Structure 1
Amino acid sequence: MILEHEHRVNLHPGGSFLFVIVRQKFWIIGARPIFLKDAKVRKPRISKGYICLFVCMVTSAIHLELVTDLTTETFLAAFRRFISLRGKCSKIYSDNGTNFIAAKRSLSEMQELLSSQRHKDIVTSTLADDGIHIQAMLQGFWKKWHQEYLTTLQQRPKWTNSTPNLSIGDVVLVKESSTPPASWHIARVMETYPGEDNLVRAVKLKTSTGEMTRPITKIAVLPSSETVFQGGPGCS
């Protein structure tokens, strides 16, 4: 509480200057080191810990990561945790600590390794020999074949070929999605309803059970032959 109070009153000074101000009146034991317990046991081993501070230079937002030592590996682990939560940074500026310099060198070497064509070829060849990401290649090939090639084989003649308009007296089958085609009712066209383009969009039908109006997408035209249609009950 004392540190927080002095920090606010003195307009957020740096760490060293804040301790100079506080120690004029108080001597806080253990104010600067952070100690970590290795396990939740009766007598755990206590080791020194540190805080890795990330500051956004655009919004002044602060992100804290607890680290166990000042090694490059520990910083890289903290950095990976940071970007997993906050996203990747376009630029990073450090205070030139030795672990930061070594981490930059490690990241640069890692980036150079991953971007090299030789590395990609060796990894791809090794994984392929063990049968590994092959499944991903197979799925990628199937997706490309399904989306790019298969669709070119599907014919859609109803959008390119013109068909004669339905006329009064035509014999049709009334499509029903809940019944098989063999159970569809036979009907005769009593009236037609063309659109503004003079193409028939709907028709009035007469069946053995009564009359109905259906769009042309819900009927199937039968050949106009007396040998095919013998005039069912109610359709004369």
Structure 2
Amino acid sequence: MGDLPRDRTHLVFPFLHTGIDYAGPVLIADRRGRGCRLTKSYICIFVCFAVKALHLELVTDLSKESFLAALHRFIGRRGKPQTISSDNGTTFVGASNDIYNFFKTYSDDIQTEATNKGIDFKFIPPYSPHFGGLWESAVKSVKHHLRRILSLTHLTFEEMSTCLVQIEAILNSRPLTPLSSDPSDLSCLTPAHFLIGRTFLTVPQPPLDNENIKQLERYERIEKLKQHFWQRFSHEYVTALQQKVKWRSSNRDLELGSMVLVRDRTQPPLLWVLGRITKLHPGPDGVNRVAEILTKKGTIRRAYNNICPLPETSSC
């Protein structure tokens, strides 16, 4: 395994070094109500190399003009990047073969356009998707759950754009590492801290888990899709952070004062249960399997399968 690129290991301004990829296609309704016609659209994903923040743009087609329009919207809100990295379109995850033709046809034009704006556009070697693992992982985070929730209903272009912005906020609110080593500090660092200086919050909404999406208003459907995405992503994010080892032995144990992320299915979107370990409860064999955690709402007791320690280093 080779070393990480220099752009991945140095903390700079967000999106100064950016990777892009396409996800899709997603079906968009041309209007509301019955008899609407479904058309294909695509999601252009921008991922920051330094802090792994995401920016999602919905594009109508795979033309050069649509991509440049999405790039201009991205620059207007996130600032002009110094470098943009992408693959050659031959191995785009989940996208149609048209994406390959798009980059094969317009790669020189896009590179020239970006160079005129002071952006260095880089392509990874052909047939080497592992060179772009960062944006491939971003595509998986977005499309893996989005593909499941979009089967519930069809959204218009405006509704889909609103849904993507809320999904973007959920992904950028994920905990990365504790802000400090102080045992009384229950706050964590998220990609949102690098974007707006604080974590993302959402306007409280009533839960819509048990509601039939076909009987909801159009704006309530977007909220239900957001809550559905949050439940899937928050649950699987904790599972992904937990290291899978054989239960016959343990390589490490939780330490007192370490910050952990607690799995809780009842939390509303963008709210993560964070806390500090205050006490460990060993079993009859002397192995710790239960811990007491100090949270903002008090002390709770959880088993290890519902606890995920956050990395203490800045390597994430």
* Fold equivalence (TM over 0.5): no
Q: Could you tell me the TM-score, scaled by structure 2's length?
A: 0.23
* Bigger RCO (CA 8 Å, 6+ sep): 2
If you compute each CA radius of gyration, which structure gives the higher value, 1 or 2?
1
TM-score calculated relative to the size of structure 1? 0.31
